[in-house]
Structure 1
Amino acid sequence: MPSLTTQSASADPTAVVAASQYLVFRLGGLDYALDFTKVQELRPLKALERFSSEGEIVAGVAVSRGVIMPIVDMRIAFGPRPPEHDPLTDVIILKLSSCVMGMVVDGVTDIVPLTLGQIKPIPGASAVEYLVGIGEADGRRLIVVDIDKLMSIQKVQVGARQAA
């Protein structure tokens, strides 16, 4: 005789909905979320050994656990340059499909489970490939991003750059 839980799960395919874990971080007063499986580790900015610093958005190069990686300051990409790093400034070390890199954010708040049903499309943002949608979790609205698409670097061919 089959168990009652098996019958109810197979009778209602929406009864069992797997939630994925999302890391929530703050940038410019807004809450963003990214797929937690892309996170390798979290570090305070001051704990990273940085040995190069250049550019506006690329905040330099750092070493974490023997891996040399670029550090992208998302605070600059998403708003005006903050005057100083405060103690809450975090670096999310990402393991992307193409590389390992660090992303500087105002701070990491928590990890939340979200189902696909909790993530709604953003009206008028279909042309922005890295925006997955708006997630609702614990009464908060989260901007869910595809971190691989957001951090992908477009290679510009030398001839194309000269033509422009």
Structure 2
Amino acid sequence: MNNNNQSQTKEYLTFWLGKEYYAIDILTVQEIRTYDQVTTVVNMPSFIKGVMNLRGVVIPIVDMRIKFNLTHITYNETTVVIILNIDDRIVGIVVDTVADVILLQEQQIQPPPNFASALDTKFIKGLAAQDQDMLVLINIKKLMNSKEMALFEQISADGTTQQTEV
């Protein structure tokens, strides 16, 4: 993986889940909204809060705090939904608060650790130091398209099962 010593810089949206600092590729972010009423859907995993109508499109809403097994989850004025567009599929993720948009160079990103954590390391792109904090870069495309999420196969606007082509 030789980049001829050229440093690739990418933008990331950073956010907080509890005391942990995370980032996702800004190119997956469609918009950021305040947390609003979500319609519950029966027989969904606990981390899928339900669905939301976004300008006529019904989208699944994943609470990342529940997904990452955080305790003491509260919904307040800083709780937001990050609307993602991943391979032309729309999904919302609930986070405690959005922090900033940052630029990171490839060499600033360290490989993920080799130990068990709340977030399976196969979904961690890497780690980067940001001021006094350690930033966890999530491969959000890989996470949202994973079999354990099964988002796009379970929920569709008309209530039928939606199959995705791979």
TM-score class, shorter: 0.7 to 0.9
1:137 equivalent to 2:113? Answer no
My pick for the range that moved more, 60-69 or 118-127, is 118-127
- With over 3 angstroms needed to count, the CA separation of the structure-2 counterparts of 1:125 and 1:65, relative to structure 1, is farther
Report if aligned partners of 1:89, 1:104 keep a CA contact under 8 Å in 2: yes
Contact 2:38 2:49 in 1 (8 A): no
Select the residue among 89, 114, 121 that pairs with 1:128. 121
Aligned to 1:146: 139
Q: How many residues align?
A: 140
Q: Percent of aligned positions with the same letter in both sequences?
A: 34
For 2:49 and 2:75, locate their aligned partners in 1 and report how far apart those are by CA, in whole Å: 12
Q: 2:67 aligns with which of 69, 77, 80?
A: 77
Matches within 5 A, 1:1-164: 14=5, 17-46=7-36, 50-54=38-42, 55=44, 56-82=46-72, 84-97=74-87, 99-124=89-114, 128-154=121-147
Q: Following the alignment from structure 1 to structure 2, what is the Cα–Cα distance between the partners of residues 82 and 64? A: 28
Runs (4 or more) in structure 1 with deviation over 6 Å come to none
The 8 Å contact of residues 95 and 101 in structure 1, kept in 2 or not, is answered as: yes
Q: Distance in 1 between matches of 2:98 and 2:90?
A: 19
Question: Which letter maps to 2:89?
Answer: C
Instruction: For 1:80 and 1:144, locate their aligned partners in 2 and report how far apart those are by CA, in whole Å.
Output: 18
Matched residues in 2 for 1:69 and 1:93: separation?
9
Alpha-carbon RMSD across the aligned residues, in angstroms, is 2.3
Asked which structure has the greater CA Rg, the reply is 1
Cα distance in 1 for residues equivalent to 2:54 and 2:72: 24
> Residue deviations 1:118-156, cap 9 Å, x none?
10012315983211110123443200010011112416x
| Unaligned runs of at least 5 residues, structure 1 | 1-12, 156-164
Q: Distance in 1 between matches of 2:115 and 2:102?
A: 23
**Does the 8 Å contact 1:28/1:106 carry over to 2?**
yes
Aligned AA (1:130): F
Q: Which has the higher helix share?
A: 1
Corresponding position of 1:161? none
